[in-house]
């Protein structure tokens, strides 16, 4: 799933404010239902009832259940409906601008933990939905591309700032870090090992560190 579809900032009119509030209610209701009942069992009519809006309002705003689900995931990734994508968020800027390699890797792991805290359960729903809904499968693949782009920006910035060891294979590093940071990997390690978010964040920090500092130990 992607995180670059937040709408342009509004002009602040009452109608626009009401529209934004209605969308927030729909997204909140949909999030609750998708998590409780799964993708297949959730209907736009049920979302409308949960949000206390007319079914037509949901259909006009989103059109399809797949589009609504994508919006739910996108909002969860960044944490709100503001028109600022992941790379522009303060918590991601720290990972792009901190003065040392260790600080940037720690900030990147913290950002990954923050995203999974809000979105991990929804990624689980998306993973199941992708098997039966072609649009969700396409969104899931789009999300992989977005993730890799984010990793490309992150590691390329480190290379440009001369914070990576000489001779680092940047393409290999970007690909490998993309797999480590993927939603599928989060779902796998948490299901397999029963990790909480603290354990996941530390594993992510340490694993990314070992990609560029072989032999780096825990802590």
Residues 50-100: pLDDT tens digits? 999 999 999 999 999 999 999 999 999 999 888 888 889 999 999 999 999
- SS3 (DSSP) at 29: helix
Among residues 78, 111, 121, 120, the alpha carbon closest in space to that of 201 is found at: 111
Q: What's the burial of 15, exposed, middle or buried (CB within 10 Å: 0-12/13-18/19+)?
A: exposed
- Catalogue all structural domains in the chain, each as residue range(s) with its CATH number: 14-78 (1.10.10.60), 86-212 (no CATH)
The number of helices, as runs of H, and strands, as runs of E, in the chain is 10, 0
Residues 103-135: pLDDT tens digits? 999 999 999 999 999 999 999 999 999 999 999
């Amino acid at each position: 799933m992607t995180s670059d579809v937040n709408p342009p900032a509004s002009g602040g009119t009452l109608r626009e404010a009401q529209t934004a509030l209605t969308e927030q209610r729909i997204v909140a209701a949909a999030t609750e239902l998708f998590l409780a009942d799964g993708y297949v069992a959730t209907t736009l009519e049920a979302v409308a009832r949960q949000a206390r809006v007319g079914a037509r309002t949901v259909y006009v705003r989103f059109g399809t259940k797949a589009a609504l689900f994508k919006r739910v995931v996108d909002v969860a990734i960044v944490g709100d409906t503001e028109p600022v994508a992941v790379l522009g968020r303060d918590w991601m800027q720290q990972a792009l601008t901190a003065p040392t390699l260790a600080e940037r890797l720690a900030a990147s792991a913290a950002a990954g933990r923050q995203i999974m805290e809000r979105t991990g359960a929804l990624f689980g729903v998306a993973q199941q939905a992708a098997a039966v809904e072609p649009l969700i499968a396409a969104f899931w693949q789009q999300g992989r591309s977005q993730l890799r782009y984010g990793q490309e920006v992150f590691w390329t910035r480190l290379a440009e700032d001369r914070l990576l060891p000489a001779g680092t294979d940047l393409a290999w590093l970007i690909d490998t870090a993309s797999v480590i940071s993927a939603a599928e990997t989060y779902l796998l390690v948490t299901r397999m090992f029963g990790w909480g978010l603290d354990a996941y964040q530390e594993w992510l920090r340490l694993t990314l560190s070992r990609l560029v500092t072989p032999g780096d130990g825990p802590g």
